[in-house]
Amino acid sequence: MGFSCGIIGLPNAGKSTIFNALTALSVAAQPYPFCTIEPNQGIVPVPDERLTRLASLVHPEKVTPTTIEFIDIAGLVKDAHKGEGLGNRFLGQIREVDAVAHVVRCFEGMNVPHVYEGIDPLRDMEVVETEIIISDLEIVEERLDKMERLARVSKEKHGPEQDVLHRVKAVLEAGRFVDPGAFSGEEALLLASFNLIAAKPLFYIANIDEADMEKAPLPFVEEAAKGRGRQVVYISGKLEEELAVLPADERQGFMDMYGMPGAGIERIIKTGYAILDLITFYTVVGKEMRAWTVRRQTIASKAAGKIHSDMERGFIRAEVIAYEDFVRAGSEHAAREKGWARVEGREYVVQDGDILHIRFNV
């Protein structure tokens, strides 16, 4: 499985519309709040120009891109934690994702009611993120209560888990998201085990009016995002939905007509990759060429484990050709002849674009 991204936001922000465009599926997206109740899940191939280029040189029978999973959930409203709207229990559906995309409504859409008065992206960011923080606080407090009850019975002393929970609680109570970078080693593992949404990387999808594409980036949205240390992808959900169903040869003309800087879905996927610090490497095994996703700084034996656990266990060495060298040489054979294929050990840090041949023995 590749990486996963949860889609959050107010009702009628355009989450399902964007999900549809991303996955080219057609789930219900209607101009009434709480249209989505059960989550929608879709797996999307990651568009990858390098994979296309490599495949044009290697001519494999099968080309398998890496994937990203999107989960579209119900809309959150103010006081969801007190049961407003659909409540906040459904946030459990995105507790295990790697990243969160927060769709913020910037389009007027006269016939699409807003749950609050008027278009105000900053208010909406505040409302949704406050509910995320409160939902996480509930989890942290429940966990602390449970540990304290256990401690009374078993007389166990205060452990590292409680320390981490208290630290996280203080951050959430101050109304902030948690910075996982402030935790290291065992503490970081404990933090990850709580599956807090407020500790996941988050970026904004500003859903703007189809007529406003040329106005992006919007200064007040940029400022709010920057203040929170986050990136923004500007798209028009409506246009993306139409673009997704157009034949490939008509897409460029459509994007030019509306001043779209490339397909929004590609920008969303690229942003997800950037904030998660992901890289792609490639393999050719038998007749299949395949792209794989790992975090930057992953070592060769771990990367091999992504392909198959036997490959990690029995890892001997990796034969590596950098993407540019492969393309410059024109084939694996030519790259080898030129001495551009390197032999690396298990501790080699895999680089973005590497073409790997794993030698293993089990």
Ligand X SMILES: Nc1nc2c(ncn2[C@@H]2O[C@H](COP(=O)(O)OP(=O)(O)OP(=O)(O)O)[C@@H](O)[C@H]2O)c(=O)[nH]1
Instruction: Summarize as ranges the residues that interact with ligand X (CB under 6 A).
Output: 9, 11-17, 29-31, 33-36, 74-75, 107, 109, 112, 207, 209-210, 236-238
With beta carbons less than 8 A apart as the criterion, state whether 104 and 121 touch: yes
Q: At 221, phi and psi to the nearest 5?
A: -75, -40
- Nearest distance from residue 247's CB to ligand X, in Å? 22
Give every CB contact of residue 356 below 8 A, 6+ residues apart in sequence: 281, 282, 283, 300, 303, 304, 318, 319, 320, 350
Q: Please identify, among the stretches 31-39, 80-88, 312-320, 353-361, the one whose residues bind Mg ion according to the rule CB under 5 A.
A: 31-39
Measured from the CB atom, the residue of 35 and 151 that comes closer to Mg ion is: 35
| Residue 13 touches which member of Mg ion, ligand X, none, C-beta under 5-8 Å by kind | ligand X
Q: Give the shortest CB-237-to-ligand X separation in angstroms.
A: 3
CB closer to ligand X, 15 vs 78: 15
* Rounded least distance, CB 25 to Mg ion, Å: 12
Under 8 Å between Cβ of 307 and 283: yes
CA 331 to CA 348: how far, in whole Å? 23
Q: Is 20 an interacting residue with respect to Mg ion (CB under 5 A)?
A: no
Could you count the other beta carbons within 10 Å of the beta carbon of residue 349?
Answer: 12
Instruction: Tell me if 16 contacts Mg ion by CB under 5 A.
Output: yes
Classify residue 41 as exposed, middle or buried by CB count within 10 Å of its CB (0-12, 13-18, 19+).
middle
Q: Contact between 40 and Mg ion (CB under 5 A)?
A: no
Choose from Mg ion, ligand X, none: what does 271 bind? Cβ within 5-8 Å by kind: none
Cβ within 8 Å of residue 42, ≥6 positions away? 19, 22, 23, 25, 69, 70, 72
Segment contacting Mg ion by CB under 5 A, of 7-15, 49-57, 108-116, 154-162: 7-15
Which residue's CB is nearer to ligand X, number 31 or number 262? 31
Residue nearest to ligand X (CB): 75
Strands (E), 201-251: 202-207, 232-235
DSSP assignments along 143-158, one per residue: HHHHHHHHHHHH-PPP
Q: Least Å distance between CB 287 and Mg ion? A: 41
Strand partners, 327: none
- Closest by CA position to 218, among listed 207, 202, 229, 227: 207
Q: Which does residue 207 touch among ligand X, Mg ion, none (CB within 5 to 8 A, set by kind)?
A: ligand X
CB 274 to ligand X: min, Å: 23
Q: Nearest-CA neighbor of 208 among 182, 236, 228, 189? A: 236
Closer to Mg ion by Cβ: residue 35 or 122: 35
Pick between residue 29 and residue 233 the one whose CB is nearest to ligand X: 29
What residue 11 binds from ligand X, Mg ion, none (CB within 5 to 8 A, per partner kind)? ligand X
CB of 47 to ligand X, least distance (A): 21
Q: Minimum distance from CB of 239 to Mg ion (Å)?
A: 18
Q: Residues 288-306, buried b or exposed e (16+ Cβ, 10 A)?
A: ebbbbbbeeebbbbebbbb
Which residues of this protein are in contact with Mg ion, per CB under 5 A? 15-16, 35-36
